[in-house]
Structure formats: C-alpha cells, structure tokens
Amino acid sequence: MLLIRCPYCEEERPELEFRNAGEAHIARSTNMAGESDDDFEKFFFIRSNPKGVIYERWRHMHGCARFFNAVRDTVTDKFIMTYKAGEPKPSKLPKNSNEVVAK
C-alpha cells in the first residue's frame, strides 16, 4: 500500500484514505462567457496526461477531508512531494524523491 503525506495532517497516511481529484493548477477563465469554443474545450476537457511527473489534486477524503496538491510520477507511481491547496506550483522538485519533504 502506498503511503501519501497529507500536508494538513503532517504525516504519511495509507492510500485508502485518499481520492485522486484530477490535474492541478488548471485556472478557470475570469471571462468564461468570452471564451472561444476551442479555448473552452482546452480548459474543460483537455488534460496533459504526461508519462512522468504530473501535478495533481488529491483529497484526504477519509482523514482531514482537505484537498491538497501532489507531484507524482506516473511511471513509478511515486509521490515526489505534496503541498497545501492554494500554494504555488513548486518550481524545483526535490532531488531524492524518497525524502520526506519539509513544507
């Protein structure tokens, strides 16, 4: 079983307590009515689906119930780091993904 670090509970908890909530850092347009159909399609349906590092929203559903963000490798399924919702996308990732990342 994977252990996922919840930034609100400040510890690693079993994956069964969590739910994936899709790709993170997708900003909703401030002028939705002015969006072209193509731009809306990109915002609403198109996801990057990379092979490798992905930035995702996760929810500690059966724990503190909070949403947070996680950086995960889709090849190894390894969680590289997690951070609170609303915090900026990290510009630099920790070198050793086995390390517990300090906030």
Partner 1 sequence: MAKAAAKTNASAMPSTAERRPALAGRSVSATGVKLEITPPAERISLRAPEASLAALSKALGVTLPTKPKTSATKAGRTALWLGPDEWLIIDEAGKDPLADCAKVAALHSAVGISHRNVAFSVTGPAAAAAINGGCPQDLSLEVFPVGAASRTILGKSEIVLLRSGPDAFRVECWRSFSDYVFTLLSEAASDAAA
Beta carbon of residue 26, minimum distance to partner 1 (angstroms, whole number): 24
H or E, element range at 70: strand 67-73
Give the Cα separation of 15 and 56 in Å (integer): 15
Between CA 41 and CA 6 the distance in angstroms is 32
Is 11 or 39 the residue whose CB approaches partner 1 more closely? 11
Distance CA 92, CA 53 (A): 12
The one among 5, 54, 57, 63 contacting partner 1 by CB under 8 A = 63
Using the rule CB under 5 A, is 59 a contact of Zn ion?
no
1 scored as a contact of partner 1 (CB under 8 A): yes
Interface pick for Zn ion out of 21, 61, 64, 85 (rule CB under 5 A): 64
Query: Per rule CB under 8 A, is residue 90 in the interface with partner 1?
Result: no
Of 4, 5, 10, 97, the one binding partner 1 (CB under 8 A) is 10
Q: Backbone phi, then psi, for 94, in 5-degree steps?
A: -60, 140
Residue 5, contacted partner among Zn ion, partner 1, none, CB below 5-8 A by kind: none
Find the DSSP H helices in 1-103.
37-44
